[in-house]
Amino acid sequence: MAIDTKKNFKRVGTHDGRFHADEVMATAILKKVFEIEIIRTRDPQKLGELDIVYDVGGGDFDHHGIEKVYRDDGIPFAACGLIWNRFGREVIIMEDPSLTKEEIESVFYYVDRFLIEGIDAQDNGVRIADEMIPSMNISTIISGYNPPWYSEKMEDKAFHKAVEAAIPILENTIKRRLAVIKARDIVVRAYGNRERPEILVLDTYCPWEETVQEIDEEGEVVLVIHPDKDKYAVQTIRGQDGRTKKHLPKSWAGLENGKLAAITGVEDSVFCHTGRFIAIAESFEGIMRLAELAIYCSDEED
């Protein structure tokens, strides 16, 4: 799909004052599609002179009215989601013009689900989850770019810094989905070439879990082997219920080098994680032997 990489110029506007992830990420989206001049104001006359206005002014990209637009899962759109809904596919095509229509839609909905929707929910006052351990989220991180109350206020400068921080977050979320799409053929080919039904061997590291869960209808694969820099790794895999199908043996947990080699008989063993979901060996032969030992391990040992 050919696309003109030259960006059109747009004068865009959002409200001034304290900013949130909503309008910051919306601006990041617009910067991926257009060359923009950003005007931060609440002056209706100034806003009326701009090409695109969001999160203020009562237009198509302002979510503060009574008549909100909702997703199928009930989460209302904020300015960020409304902007993504309109321009997100253009962002994706500019990132990779070779994508099919189906792949564009896959990336579009992935980004909305895993990045945009949470921002929209927070800005609309929707409580997402109560966590036992407090953790930072994207909305908290971006809001942190606001100048503290006791500093000299330079909100516009801080806003631009927040937008520059948001752009790679958006780009990385897109690339995360593209990585899965571009790895699919590699995983499917490896699946068809299995010598043992339980073990999938990849000749390069790539995202594999989603594709395996999709194509392995009988649930045969329990371990995946792949290169790990200059070594090799064996990883466990989760089933459709989210549970690990088969852990690596308990006796391996946390062991390294000679200790792991002594208990497995694999001389070039390097490491087994205490969580028993990954082990490393120096050679392909070594990692295959570890995988075979794990397969033969009884449920009691597992």
* Residue 270 CB partners (closer than 8 Å, separation 6+): 231, 256, 257, 260, 279, 280, 281, 282
For residue 262, how many other CB atoms are within 10 A of its CB?
12
Q: State the average pLDDT over residues 260-268.
A: 96
161-186 pLDDT, tens digit per residue, is 999 999 999 999 999 999 999 999 99
Tell whether the model's pLDDT for residue 266 goes beyond 80: yes
More confident residue, 133 or 203: 203
Q: Is the pTM of this model over 0.75?
A: yes
DSSP reduced 3-state for 48: coil
Give domain limits for the chain.
Answer: 9-181, 195-296
Confidence of residue 301 (pLDDT cuts 50, 70, 90): low
Largest CA distance in the chain: 78
The 3-class secondary structure across 78-121, one letter per residue, is CHHHHHHHHHHHHHHHHHCCCCCHHHHHHHHHHHHHHHHHHHHH
* Per-residue pLDDT tens over the stretch 45-89: 999 999 999 999 998 999 988 788 999 999 999 999 999 999 999
Query: Do 162 and 170 touch, CB atoms closer than 8 A?
Result: no
